[in-house]
Structure 1
């Protein structure tokens, strides 16, 4: 496999997408944060002192994914057409799951935007809950799905 972010001299370059076709593109990424029972119950009940944890985390993730090209050096600036972040609560494991889905019509994919959105959303949960539980663990951030472009559809295999 050839790496596309390097020129013939090994210098980092932004991939030239000028000749690519504009296609509808979508990507979804997921991750989770595990926490203590006390922290989970406060979050679930909406009693965290800093306020609506998941509401703020959703907005933070969306704001961050719109800044991906400023955070990841060789990412293209994209005109996004849709972004959403959803959360799920796993009572038994004291975990909050997050899924970020992003869409555009463009010449390059939105995988990095989806991964950035879910990462910052989970970091925001950590920030808003750290007074109760500094042992929280963020993990399993991964691409779930992508579609559009020359490489077509990717679906993460079930484990």
Structure 2
């Protein structure tokens, strides 16, 4: 079951990076029961929460009002977990929490907060040598600015 869970988490990441957000959320849905019932949090589970939140945020604007409520609630739930981890280990998690926070601010129309959080995510990822998260934060921020 664990290797199946990791497969769906990696599929979630790959689909997100390819811009296939609905397919990514299907993979997240398949991984969710295994993530939620696991006895120990594993690094892959952090990636699950991070990428699932980004997918929900990406789909928010193009969704129906019912779906928007679901996407908003999901982003908020994933962000709460990321913030908890960031409080305990900012070196590893602050960049993720800032990026998801920026996306939530974007959804809520708080453009100034979104800009500040995108920059915080980029700086934090750079300082902690998470080059892949720095690049991702730059891309997500670029979509916001475009």
Fold shared per TM-score above 0.5: no
What is the TM-score of this pair, normalised by structure 2? Answer: 0.26
What is the TM-score of this pair, normalised by structure 1? Answer: 0.24
| Higher-RCO chain (CA-CA 8 Å, sequence separation at least 6) | 1
**Bigger Rg over Cα:** 1
